[in-house]
Structure formats: structure tokens, C-alpha cells
Amino acid sequence: MTAKESAPGKEAAGASKKDHGVLYVGIDLGTSRTSIAASNGVRETVASVVGYPKDVVSQKLLQRDALFGDEAIENRLALRYYRPLEKGVIKGSDGKVLPKEEADANLKAARDLLRHAISLAQPRPDELVYGVVGAPAQASIQNQKMLVEAANEVLDAVMICSEPFAVAYGLEWLDDVLVIDIGAGTVDLCRMHGTMPDEGDQITLPTAGDWVDEQIEGLLRERCGGAQFTRQMVKNVKEKHSTVRDGGASIVVEFPVRGKPTSFDVTESVREGCRRIVPPIVESLGELVASFDPEFQERLRNRVLLAGGGSQIGGLDRAIEEAMRERLGGGRVIRIEEPVYGGANGALKIAHDMPPDFWQKLV
């Protein structure tokens, strides 16, 4: 800080003016989770749901204008409840015509969610907040505009960038990289080379986390006669025990049978359900490799990054490698260190690296 900046008069004015510093934030506004990483060391994640009290009674009871994440999920019966994102973009921005009222409500929910995420980063009121928000690689211009609109109000300056690019940039893998991002609704595969990814560099699959839940649920319905359970319970079991590995401890859970808690060994169903995610991914990897410059195909095959909440399935990186070996003659897969924060960390790095004069033109 220069002597001029710390002059007492200026300091006093600093309480309301934003001249104290600059807080960078990287945000991954995901369909299922929104995560933020900030240059004050804070990292937070919240389920992408927003709820507003339905009526005055609920409002009194909850003592808040809006609830987010798990808190909103717990109180959803008392709330007008929104999941403002779908397939990674704000609902109503993907060309599907929603009634205007509903589209507006979604945009508001998305904006409130962004604002909440930023508040989780605990910015000082006297600091500028510059943010980079990751958008799915396949997001249309219209989608991106909606994101910018939502973010403009809550950040001092904002840029949108492609989510897989952010993941790769965050790890300094700039060239010839294949990013697999396994979310709740979609698996996004993206080939990165030289320029920004374009249409032909991307494949989006519906066989993602939610689909795996569905698979496991189907298997359990066949195999655990009389057990009562919901999709959410299956998801919880998956997130706790997911694996594609052979061997290992058995997975035993309790489901009620006619109201009575009963133990079930669900090892096989969980493993089988999780394994089903592999073939479509490897199929798409094959397509992206095959349509790449032959000279660099081998390099690309050996630089596969696995990210997103769904990449936490135990042994998934090795399982994909194995399948690649069979189908593509080899390959190397690296699961990123922090699957949940991969996008946010990368977006933060982009925000930091962005030259000052670029930011200047956007504030």
C-alpha cells in the first residue's frame, strides 16, 4: 500500500468507498452444487437450491427472506422452492419457453444464489469483488447472457468462461487435454487445444450422477425384496459408498421392510450401477480422440482429467483407463485433487491472471 492510499482521510472514506483491495472469486454455478473459491482463502459450496417463504406465517417462522442449500431443502414444504439451473444453465435461458413469470422467478433465484455464494466468501465491504463464473462448455450465447445478467448486479466486474477450460487452466494444463466433468445431470467431455473449445470439441452425455442413482435404484428394487426406499436414500448410499472396484468391504445398509429396519448387502448393486457410467464415457473419449489431429492423438489420450462430484466414485479413474486400454489401445486418466472445487479454483486463477486493463474495461 502506498503512503497516499493510507492517508487518514482516505482511510476513513474507505469504509464506504471500495478502495481497500480486490477480492477475486471463482464460481462454479452448478446444477446440483454451487462452489466458490476466493482470494481471501475461503472456499465454500452450497446445494444449488433457493427457497422463499410461501406466506407470512412461514416468513415469521423462518425469519428470513430466502433460504439456500441444505437449509432450503429441509424446509422446502414451507417454501416456494427453486432449482434455478438445469443442465448447467439458468432455466428458461435454453430456448425452452417458460412462462415469463417463471423465467423471471428463476433468474431472480439464480441471482440470489450467486449473491449468497459471494456472501459465503465473506468479502469486506470496502473491497472490489471481481469474479469469473464457469459456464458449461455447451452453454449457448443466450445462456451466457443470462449468467452475465445475474452476475452483473452482484459483482463489481464479471467474466464468464467455459467450465472445462477453467478446470484445465487451474492445473496449468493448457494444451491437448480432455476434461471429463461428471455432474448430476450431465457428463461433459471437452477437448481443449490451442483455441477455445468449439462445437466439435464437446460431447454431453445424460448418463451422469442422477442416472447412476436411477441405475442403482433399479438394481435394488430387483434385489432387495420388500425394502422401502427413495431415490434420495439411494443417492446418499451412493455418495457414501460409491465404487467400481472389485473386492473391498461389503456395503451393508438398513432399509425398512414393512416399517421394520432390515439390513441389506448392497455391494453388488452399488458397484454394478456405478460401473455403468464407464462405457458411454469411453465411447465418447474414443470419438474425441479419433477426430483429433493424428499426430497428437496419443498425447491427448494420455492427458485426460477427471472432475466433478461424480468423479469421486472409487476407482473410476483406473476403470476408465482400463476400458481405454481395451478400446483405444491405452490412455492415462488423472482425477483432479478436489473434484468439487476444480471449476471454482480454475475460475479463481483466471480472475487473478486476467490483466488489470482487461478488468478495467469491464467495470
Partner 1 sequence: MDGSIVERLRALLAGSTRTHSVRDLQRRGVTRIPVLGRDQLAALVEEAVAATLRDRGLLDERGEVAAEAMERAKGLLREVGRLEAEREASRRAGAEIERRVDELRREVFLAEGRLREAKVRARSDAPSPPTTVRGRIRELFAANASNAPGGIESIAAELETLLSEEVSRAVARARTEASREIEDLDRRVGRLRGALEKAESDLAARGQPAPPGIASIYRTVQGLDARERDFSRKRKLLERIFEANVRLQKETV
Ligand X SMILES: Nc1ncnc2c1ncn2[C@@H]1O[C@H](COP(=O)(O)OP(=O)(O)O)[C@@H](O)[C@H]1O
Q: Can you give the binding site for partner 1, defined by CB under 8 A?
A: 1, 20-24, 38-42, 121-125, 127, 130, 141, 144-145, 148-149, 152, 158-161, 165, 169, 171-172, 174-175, 195-196, 302-303, 330, 332, 334, 336-338, 345, 350, 352-356, 358-362
Q: Which grid cell sits at 277?
A: 457410467
Residue 203: which H helix or E strand, with range?
Answer: strand 202-205
- Of 183 and 197, nearer to Mg ion (C-beta) is 183
**What's the closest the beta carbon of residue 223 comes to partner 1, in angstroms?**
37
**Partner from partner 1, ligand X, Mg ion, none binding residue 205, C-beta < 5-8 Å depending on class:** none
Q: Which of 25, 27, 33, 105 binds ligand X (CB under 6 A)?
A: 33
3-state secondary structure the chain: CCCCCCCHHHHHHCCCCCCCEEEEEEEEECCCEEEEEECCCCEEEEECCEEEECCHHHHHHHCCCCEEHHHHHHCHHHEEEECCEECCEECCCCCCCCCHHHHHHHHHHHHHHHHHHHHHCCCCCCEEEEEEEEECCCCCHHHHHHHHHHHHCCCCEEEEEEHHHHHHHHCCCCCCEEEEEECCCCEEEEEECCCCCCHHHEEEECCCHHHHHHHHHHHHHHHCCCECCCHHHHHHHHHHHCECCCCCCCCEEEEEECCEEEEEECHHHHHHHHHCCHHHHHHHHHHHHHCCCHHHHHHHHCCEEEECHHHHCECHHHHHHHHHHHHHCCCCEEECCCCCCHHHHHHHHHHHHCCHHHHHHHC
**What's the closest the beta carbon of residue 181 comes to Mg ion, in angstroms?**
6
- Of 39 and 186, nearer to partner 1 (C-beta) is 39
**Partner from Mg ion, partner 1, ligand X, none binding residue 359, C-beta < 5-8 Å depending on class:** partner 1
**Partner from partner 1, Mg ion, ligand X, none binding residue 350, C-beta < 5-8 Å depending on class:** partner 1
**What's the closest the beta carbon of residue 68 comes to ligand X, in angstroms?**
14
Residue 183 interacts with ligand X (CB under 6 A)? yes
Within positions 166 to 195, which residues make up the interface with Mg ion, using CB under 5 A? 183
Secondary structure letter of residue 330 according to DSSP: -
**Partner from Mg ion, partner 1, ligand X, none binding residue 309, C-beta < 5-8 Å depending on class:** ligand X
For ligand X, which stretch binds (CB under 6 A), given 178-186, 196-204, 215-223, 247-255?
178-186
**Partner from partner 1, Mg ion, ligand X, none binding residue 195, C-beta < 5-8 Å depending on class:** partner 1
Rounded to whole angstroms, how far apart are CA atoms 219 and 197? Answer: 38
**What's the closest the beta carbon of residue 297 comes to partner 1, in angstroms?**
16
**What's the closest the beta carbon of residue 10 comes to ligand X, in angstroms?**
42
Within positions 145 to 174, which residues make up the interface with ligand X, using CB under 6 A? none
- Of 216 and 300, nearer to partner 1 (C-beta) is 300
The 303-332 site mask, x for binding ligand X (CB under 6 A), equals -----xxx-xx-------------------
Size of the site for ligand X (CB under 6 A): 18
Sign of CA dihedral 200, 206, 212, 213: positive
- Find the angle CA(233)-CA(237)-CA(239) to the nearest 5 degrees: 115
Q: Which of 14, 30, 131, 134 binds ligand X (CB under 6 A)?
A: 30
- Closest-approach residue to Mg ion (CB): 30
- Of 31 and 39, nearer to ligand X (C-beta) is 31
- Which residues sit at the interface with ligand X, rule CB under 6 A? 30-33, 183-185, 209-210, 235, 238-239, 242, 308-310, 312-313
